Amino acid sequence: METKKRLDLKNLIGIIIVSVVVITTFALSLWYFNSKKEQEENQYYVYTIDLGNSFQTVSKVQIISQDLSEEERQRLGEEMRAILAELDLEFNAVERIGGEKSTLMKVNEKAGIEPVSVSGEFIYVLEKALEVAGISKVDGVALFDPTIAPVWQAWDFPELIFTTYEGPVPIEYLPTREELESLLPLVNYEKVVLDKANNKVFLTEVGMALDLGSVVKGYAADKIKEYLISQNIDRAIIDIGANILLLGNYVNTKGEDIDWPLYVRTPSKNYLTGDLNKLGKVLDNKDKTVVTSGDYEKYIIDEDGNHYHHILDPRTGYPIANGLVSVSIITDESILGDAYSTMVFALGLEKGMEFIEATDNTEAVFVLKEGKNYKVYVSSGLENKFEFNTSLEEKNYQYQGVYRWKY
């Protein structure tokens, strides 16, 4: 009898243990499947779409989505490339072999002869460039001037930068001081007549020419963002020739909104790699654009070791020389970020920072070279929203924080 009781007790204990195991296994299975379902619901992917090489530069879009079919990606890519191709036909400054001349070329060809009919889009972009020119004056001269083209053409940067030369550029290939001085009278944005009522543009002097390269990439980024929104895309990185424009927020594995991993590039001619190529991280960057102008990409070196970059001073015809090596603008509209980056670079650290601090929703990162050292300054709005890459200290980059231009 006692033996039977022991057996019954053992059986009862066994049943209890099995039941606990079964219940626990079921609970764990339920948790696993619920967890897996939650992960699947929060799973986002990065879809990269190549946008070709309009404006002599490489462009792409990265869309963050839970599901974007190959067919949909192909359609989006075709339509975005078509948008850029149309803008290229309006604003391209370089004639394509066997291709149609752009509206910009037609305006330049008729300088001093007659007005040229243009699209409303051309008017809009040119008007933005002229507005920025108007606020860039120093001692009566606009340091950002879209009519700088004749001087820029005299330097022939595209040919000399992308030439097959091995080593420095021969002196005889560079413009002389006399040549540059003879072209400076053609640089005056106030001689551009904008007839908005009839959509016409007239450059009033023979030899004048427009170059809208400092605004058109930014405008293109804005157009692509507008298109993506119309297609119900709410998370994307738009990259038009390194003009970066963000759409919405980034997202983590839980499906929560977070900052994009957005970095300002280190301005170095030595092609730093890895993390050293990142000057610092920009925080709180939803829907922001980052555009950089500097002396470290498009430049030539002559036989005497002199360095000539592509951002020219309308007062002299020579490259701007104020100690700055780069300016990165963080703002809302890429067309303005594009224009401001060139303008602020030309203004220099003090006047440039004064402009930034007086402009709403606009911040900047400045890199100033002093001897062998590079000093990094930020505008006041970035004081707690910019994380400097301290690894660059070994390369003589020194973070200075906010530049107190008033003091």
Distance of CA 353 to the CA centre of its chain: 19
**Residue 320 pLDDT more than 60?**
yes
Q: Where residue 290 sits, what CATH number does that domain have?
A: 3.10.520.10
Q: CA 115 to CA 130: how far, in whole Å?
A: 17
Give the C-alpha separation, 118 to 325, whole Å: 36
Query: In this structure, is residue 113 part of a structural domain?
Result: no
Q: Six-digit token pair at 145? A: 């001037």
Backbone angles phi and psi of 82, in degrees to 5: -65, -40
User: What does the alpha-carbon distance between residue 146 and residue 133 come to, in Å, rounded to a whole number?
Assistant: 8
Reported as a pLDDT band with limits 50, 70 and 90, residue 33 is very low
Whether 8 has a pLDDT exceeding 90, the answer reads no
In a domain, 274, yes or no: yes
What's the CA gap between 329 and 365, in Å, rounded?
7
**Mean pLDDT for the stretch of residues 26-52:** 62
What's the pLDDT band for 81 if we cut at 50, 70, 90?
very high
Q: Quick one: residue 55, left, alpha or beta (phi over 0 = left, psi -120 to 50 = alpha)?
A: left
Residue 16 lies inside a defined structural domain of this protein? no
The reply to whether 342 falls in a domain is: yes
Residue 302: pLDDT band (50, 70, 90) is confident
**Distance (Å, whole) CA 8 – CA 315:** 104
The alpha carbon torsion through 147, 148, 149, 152 (nearest 10 deg) reads 180
Does residue 52 form part of some domain?
A: no
Number of domains in the chain: 1
Q: Give burial (CB, 10 Å; 0-12/13-18/19+) of 140.
A: exposed
The torsion defined by the Cα of 239, 235, 247 and 46, in degrees rounded to 10, comes to -10
The reported pLDDT for the residue numbered 35 is 36
How far lies 378's CA from each of 9, 364, 393, in Å?
Answer: 77, 6, 17
pLDDT of residue 270: 72
State residue 157's pLDDT score: 77
Q: Which residue's structure tokens are 């939803």?
A: 286
Note down the domain range covering 348. 259-407
* Residue 3 pLDDT: 44
The residue ranking higher by pLDDT, 390 or 306, is 390
Q: Is the pLDDT of residue 6 over 50?
A: no
Contacts of 52 (CB under 8 A, 6+ apart): 58, 59, 81, 84, 85
Distance CA 19, CA 17 (A): 5
What are the structure tokens assigned to 172, written together?
A: 């005889």
If one compares 253 and 224, the residue with the highest pLDDT of the two is 224
Rg (C-alpha) for the chain, rounded Å, is 28
Q: Bridge partners of 278?
A: 265
| pLDDT tier at 163, thresholds 50, 70, 90 | low
Task: Tell me whether residue 180 is in a domain.
Answer: no
In a domain, 20, yes or no: no
Whether 176 is in a domain gets the answer no
